[in-house]
Copies of this chain bind each other. A is one copy, B any other.
Amino acid sequence: MTDTGDAVTSYWAAVETRDWDTFGALLAEDVVYEVPQTRERVRGRAAFTTFTADGFPGDWHITVQRVIGGEQAAATEIEFADAGVSQPGLTFFEFGPYGLISRITDYWPEPYEPPAGRAGLAERY
């Protein structure tokens, strides 16, 4: 595991345990968080910590499925489970000085039906 992989593993552990001090300590003060699907953006460690702590009420749980640690960047795949329903979350991280997370991009993909034209080319599971 690389340093960036360790950092994002700690990030998700802090989210799962609602440990907002540890969470904030992993972030650059000017961190930028974006959700391209909703075009939401949050700027700054304080605002983003509040967004994460207060924006998702409920007794949800996170399981990290995959961590890819690169040079100054990382990606994760998580399972977000809430009230018996679970969905994947995909997150890209960029790192700045001091190994702090400077940019986070989150995706929350939902199920859809594939086009009929490729039905013969894949199995379903």
The answer on a CB contact under 8 Å between B75 and A68 is yes
Q: Could you tell me if A92 and B75 are in contact, using CB atoms closer than 8 angstroms? A: yes
Distance, CA A16 to CA B5, complexed state (A): 30
Ordered nearest first, which 3 A-B pairs have the shortest CB separation? A75-B75, A55-B118, A40-B122
Cβ of A35 within 8 Å of any chain B Cβ, yes or no, is yes
* Interface SS majority for chain A: mixed
A90 at the interface (CB under 8 A from B): yes
Please, how many residues of chain A have a CB less than 8 angstroms from a CB on the other chain? 48
Closest chain B CB from A46 CB (angstroms): 11
Interface string of A31-66 (1 = CB under 8 A from B): 001111111111100010011001111000000001
Please measure, in the bound complex, the distance between the C-alpha atom of A106 and the C-alpha atom of B5, giving whole angstroms.
21
Least CB separation from A38: chain B residue: B114
- The answer, yes or no, to whether A74 is at the interface (CB within 8 Å) is yes
Residue with the greatest number of chain B CB neighbours at <10 A, chosen from A55, A57, A113: A55
* A121-B69 CB under 8 A given contacts A36-B88, A110-B110, A112-B38: no
